[in-house]
Chains A and B, each alone.
Chain A
Amino acid sequence: MAQKAIREYDAKSILAKHWDQYFPDFTYAYETIMVKNGTELKEAAKTKAWLNEKALVAKPDMLFGKRGKNGLVLFRDSKPGDVSLVKAASWIDEKSSSKQSVYFSFHGDTPNGSAKTDMLTEFIVEPFTPHAQAEEYYISATCVGDEDVLYMSAEGGMEVEENWDKVLEVSFPITATEEEIAQKIRANIPADVAQKDKEGFANFAIGFFKAYRELNFAYLEINPFVMQGNKIELLDMVAKLDDTAAFMMTEQWGDIEFPTSFGMEEKSPEVLAIEEADAKSGASLKLTILKPEARIWTMVAGGGASVVYADTIADLAGIDDLANYGEYSGNPTTGETQFYAETIIDLMTRQKDPQGRGKVLIIGGAIANFTDVAKTFTGIIFALEKYAAKMRDIGVKIYVRRGGPNYEKGLKDIKEAADRLGIWIDVYGPETHLTDIVRMAVGK
């Protein structure tokens, strides 16, 4: 996926790094720090004086919003704006010591849907900024359809979604020039922006939108920012980057991290290993484990075909039987295919089906354009040889369907290998419909 969420701290850091270029009329103190626990925070206070001198705000920085409604923003001890370094450190230690429940959606102040529970591991700490509600503004930008849309509102803060009717949208084609953009923004400043701030708001919005475009953000939101004359505070930010632009943004983004979202299961070592192999290869190797105890495993060539197999298994066998999703494509080497096959076969032969049924391995694929089928199947055969005993023990039936360059040899080789190894196998070529092996495997 091209659009990847980044931490609030990183979003602020990117803007701060290029601040003078985009916001020459404004200042931003960039007093912000990311820590994992109270000890780190206290350690940081030795070099960053403001941590000792100012009242603080602390909150988790783990890609989820609604932190205020989840009670995860520390801005008061006994009264708003009195959080000391010691308090912030102890609060962070407390919140990071056990799993926390987080709701992603609210109706008013009432949680909507179910909570996700996970450890909080990253916190962002900043000075508390005393300001009036009227100084809070909302701004964001993203791409909708073919156009970039800039959203602006004088009503910043937690309630922006409830007040979405007050948000002004301005959209721009990709070809819009800087002059056109500036002109259109100036002509569309929300009416309820304070008169004294209108000029400043427009200048800030123009710089913001330019930064969004030029720094290859896919989504950029500041909610709210506080404008006090020419002084800006970024109270809360959400950002996504277009990670396909990473190769030309190394300097601009710096060393950026794309964390997994809060509450997502940790990636298993197998998935991480496949990701590593994928990153090193010119071919594509993808693996998602959906339900490791399920009985139907897939090893499908090609992104489109892998979706079709997953669809069909869900339709014909039911979603509970589908163990994994993934694909290999782009003419992987024999070694890469072997590694991919071994990873899947290893996972599927760790335990027997609880209901005593056999397991099914779908080695599927459409008719390849240029991938050498015999070559990739050689890699799969090596994996079968290595895992033959376990596969026989668990009771694995293999269904193969594939076409493309050298497919006859590939099918013949894998059939011979499985027969020699005593593994149950059925092989089919392009004369058999792509997903018909799923129907055969589930006996429908």
Chain B
Amino acid sequence: MAALFTKETQAIFWNNNAGAIQRMLDYDYVIGRKTPSIAAIVAPTGESKFQKFFWGPDEIMINLYKNTSQAKKDHPNADVLLNFGSFRTAYDVTMEALNLGGFKTIMVTAEGIPERLSRKMIAEAKAKNVTVIGPATVGGIVPGAFKIANLGGTIENIINSKLHRAGSCGLVTRSGGLFNELANIIALNADGIAEGVAIGGDRFVGSVFIDNLLRMQENPEVKYMLLLGEVGGAEEYKVIEAIKSGKLTKPIIAWCIGTIAKYYSSGVQFGHAGASANAERETAEAKNIAMAEAGIHVPSSFNDLPRLIAQVYGELKAKGVIKDIVEPELKTVPKIRRKKEFICTISDDRGDEATYAGFPISSVATPDTGKGIGDVISLLWFKKQYPKWATDFIETVIKTVADHGPAVSGAHNAKVTARAGKSVVESLVTGLLTIGPRFGGAIDGAAEHFKYAYDNNLTPAEFLNHMKKLGIPIPGIGHRIKSLRNPDLRVVGLKKFAAEYFPSTPLLDYALTVEQLTTSKKDNLILNVDGTIGILMVDMWRALGYSEDEINEFISSGTLNAFFIAGRTIGFIGHVLDEKRLAMPMYRHPFEDILYQVDMAEDIR
């Protein structure tokens, strides 16, 4: 059995406890971890999708999730759950994680979880062979690899206590508050710890002393162990039994705190909930005596502990069991760090050459690269390298929507503005600002509604009925003059391309069954070019492996509209330049074309 954690271990942190997370990341950076020890954060009430944290002098983003299952799905390698839920929620959070599976260790920090719930949670974890650290704990550490949350305190203290690199002691305590202290004592009197766990102060905790000591017995980095127990409970006797049966053979130093309890028969609660002694054998004194009799190194008092550690360490060192440690080089975290105001995840102009999602511009720009505008869009909009059929499709869409003549409202607005003497950019945005739910919005709408119908297994008739109830004409259906007999050749081209190159087109296939029904009612209720584009985009993303959530987000964030905007910009600029070339005068709409009906204002004074 290896150590509890490695330098690759990653955790999901339940509850956005930013202070504790930052301390973990600072630790990661200092010890030279390649990846942050936190893969994802579950923040059930948070609205953001990520949070920024410092990584040394820089900042990184860590994804936020509303629930553990999505976090685990996206980060399957994160096999530790740091459950920072309160005593009200910690049980449910742990049980959910146990049911999801894939977690090796779950740490529970809450103190005062109802005992019956703690016991259920612990039993369930045991049955599933998951290690639970806590409840009521500050956590554990494998120095130089992975540190839980606040354990170890500040970076300065961590380095002073030699918690930044593996030493040779295996440390297990009940108290979280004394864990740091023990690490410090061990650093002052020996060479630090190889692995350490604070098992937690509640009466029922997941992994107990013996579980941790048995693992440390198998961990070759651990040369001797230190146990700090407490008055109450009988866990220390299991350790004694394991020594007697030969399961624990490494030297052990141990001390139970709470010797004072003997002076107070009842009523005074010393220490944790787990620390009430119900019988003579559960007193600190009885346990200290029993441990000493079993051959454990037991000091005469807590004040005598440093001397004993130095002695045991010195003997092992003299025997050559413990070797000298080569102190690793450490990175330092700057004292003052500035948070970044802006974040960019698509391009970078800091290097020799600016890049699009990691690709130097020159590697996608010229014809010999074989890359087109579809590739550039896939890099800058989606941060992915799409296959050729998809980038070709994107280009087809851009080309198809580039212009639709001067009469459509956007082009008309651009032309009127250009004739008012405004610049290219001013005229262009006038046209672009027309794009919305009624102009160009059918692409979004078609994708949204057809996808809804398909996802919910609506028959074409049910879909029509559904749209009727919503009181919306079906977006993407209908054309002014085109019909089945007189098809829109743009649509024909798109369908042909999709049939030939898309792996599959389930949503288009569905839309065509809808079209059969609508055209049976009226000849021109065909699937139009906007509808075809929106629907094929969904088919494209599905074929590319996006999740339904991601696709829904593309739709709701207006990504489909963006294709229309990008394409139609070409046409609008054409119309603006056309106006400039023609030097047309200021436009004024003729009176004859306006119906005037202006009544005298009603007097309501």
Contacts and interface: CB of A to CB of B under 8 A. Distances in A.
Nearest to B124: A175
Interface string B275-286: 110000000100
B287 to A, nearest CB: 13
B177 A436 contact: no
Contacts of B203: 2
Contacts of A173: 123
A325 B87 contact: no
A218 B118 CA distance: 13
A197 B157 CA distance: 67
B115 A307 contact: no
B286 to A, nearest CB: 15
Contacts of A218: 115
Given A2-B203, A303-B272, A311-B258, A244 B184 contact: no
Contacts of B150: 369-370
B267 A314 contact: no
Contacts of B260: 307, 310-311, 314, 319, 322, 325
Contacts of B174: 304
A305 B178 contact: yes
Interface stretch (A22-30, A157-165, A221-229, A427-435): A427-435
Contacts of B258: 307, 311
Interface in A284-336: 288, 290, 301-308, 310-312, 314-316, 319, 322, 325, 329
Nearest to A439: B303
A318 to B, nearest CB: 10
B412 to A, nearest CB: 63
Given A303-B201, A311-B260, A404-B157, A242 B301 contact: no
Contacts of B196: none
B591 to A, nearest CB: 74
Contacts of A302: 175, 177-178
B114 A242 contact: yes
A305 B177 contact: yes
B302 interface: yes
Interface string B137-155: 0100000000000111110
Interface residues of B, number: 65
B175 A304 contact: yes
A244 B119 contact: no
Interface in A122-151: 143, 145-146
Interface in A398-444: 403-405, 430-431, 433-436, 438-439
A218 B273 CA distance: 13
Contacts of A439: 303
A302 B271 CA distance: 9
Contact of B154 (A242, A305, A405): A405
A2 B275 CA distance: 11
A242 B202 CA distance: 12
Given A264-B267, A304-B174, A369-B138, A242 B116 contact: yes
A409 B271 CA distance: 28
B197 to A, nearest CB: 14
B19 interface: yes
Interface in B106-146: 112-117, 119-120, 123-124, 127, 138
A292 to B, nearest CB: 14
B112, B114, B201, B273: most-surrounded residue (chain A CB, <10 A): B114
B259 interface: yes
B188 A431 contact: yes
A430 B152 contact: no
A308 B87 contact: no
B114 A367 contact: no
Contact of B177 (A242, A304, A315, A405): A304
Contact of B184 (A1, A247, A367): A367
Contacts of B20: 370
A174 interface: yes
Contacts of B23: 370
A436 B230 CA distance: 20
Contacts of B160: 430
B151 A175 contact: no
Contact of B180 (A2, A146, A315, A403): A403
Contact of A244 (B113, B201, B259): B113
Interface in B321-337: none
B259 A311 contact: yes
Nearest to B269: A1
B431 interface: no
B257 A366 contact: no
Contacts of B115: 2-3, 143, 216, 218, 242, 244-245
B138 A325 contact: no
A317 to B, nearest CB: 12
A216 B114 contact: yes
Contact of B273 (A1, A248, A264): A1
Nearest to A301: B177
Contacts of A301: 177
Contacts of B138: 369
Given A2-B115, A302-B178, A304-B178, A433 B306 contact: yes
B119 A146 contact: yes
B62 to A, nearest CB: 19
B268 interface: yes
A44 B315 CA distance: 76
A368 interface: yes
Interface in A186-231: 213, 216, 218
B566 interface: no
Contacts of B178: 302, 304-305, 308, 366
Interface string A223-267: 000000000000000000010110110000000000001001000
A175 B123 contact: yes
B567 interface: no
B112 A303 contact: no
B114, B123, B181: most-surrounded residue (chain A CB, <10 A): B181
Contact of A325 (B119, B153, B270): B270
A179 B54 CA distance: 54
Contacts of B88: 247-248
B87, B173, B180, B266: most-surrounded residue (chain A CB, <10 A): B180
A351 B184 CA distance: 38
Contacts of A369: 138, 150-153, 176-177, 180
Contact of A311 (B87, B113, B116, B257): B257
B31 to A, nearest CB: 18
B271 A404 contact: no
A404 B160 CA distance: 11
Contacts of A305: 175, 177-178, 181
A435 B303 contact: yes
B161 interface: yes
A3 to B, nearest CB: 8
B185 interface: yes
Contacts of A403: 153, 157, 180-181, 184
B239 to A, nearest CB: 16
Interface in B368-388: none
B140 to A, nearest CB: 13
A370 B226 CA distance: 24
A136 to B, nearest CB: 28
Q: Which 9 A-B pairs have the closest CB atoms?
A: A304-B175, A302-B177, A245-B114, A366-B181, A304-B178, A367-B180, A174-B119, A369-B150, A244-B112
Interface of A: 1-3, 143, 145-146, 173-175, 213, 216, 218, 242, 244-245, 247-248, 261, 264, 288, 290, 301-308, 310-312, 314-316, 319, 322, 325, 329, 366-370, 403-405, 430-431, 433-436, 438-439
24 contacts: A146-B119, A174-B123, A213-B116, A216-B114, A218-B115, A290-B268, A304-B178, A304-B272, A305-B177, A307-B270, A308-B302, A310-B260, A310-B270, A311-B258, A312-B303, A319-B260, A319-B263, A329-B177, A366-B180, A367-B157, A369-B150, A369-B177, A370-B150, A403-B184
Given A245-B116, A247-B87, A301-B177, 7 more contacts: A146-B123, A303-B177, A303-B271, A307-B271, A314-B260, A319-B260, A403-B157
